[in-house]
Amino acid sequence: MWEAVYIIEGLLQQCSDAEPDTIHADTQGQSYPVHGLAHLFGFNLLTRIRNWKDLTFYRHAADARYEHIDSLLGTRATTRSTGR
């Protein structure tokens, strides 16, 4: 999370006329709180995911299909507990 803190701080303190809307970060910039802050401040934070080949990606629904990334996803859908 170290890199992301500096990215957000730099964006908030910059005084130029440039208004960036998309920021790229390395794996160190990847965390839910940082992505939430980026959204609240109005910019997209695009982080690189290190070792993504070791991750399992799921569809939000079993019948969901995506033209460009379909081959990356398994056939299972995620299941979320509603706490009820």
pLDDT tens, residue by residue, 15-66: 888 777 887 777 666 777 888 888 888 888 888 777 777 777 778 787 888 8
Helices and strands (DSSP H and E) totals, the chain: 2, 2
Q: Could you tell me the residue ranges of all domains in the chain? A: 2-52
- DSSP 8-state class, residue 21: -
The four Cα atoms 60, 64, 67, 70 give a dihedral, to 10 degrees, of 60
Query: How far is the C-alpha of 42 from the C-alpha of 12, rounded, in Å?
Result: 11
The whole-number average pLDDT for the span 74-82 is 59
pLDDT at 41: 83
Burial category of 36 from C-beta neighbours within 10 Å (exposed 0-12, middle 13-18, buried 19 and up) = exposed
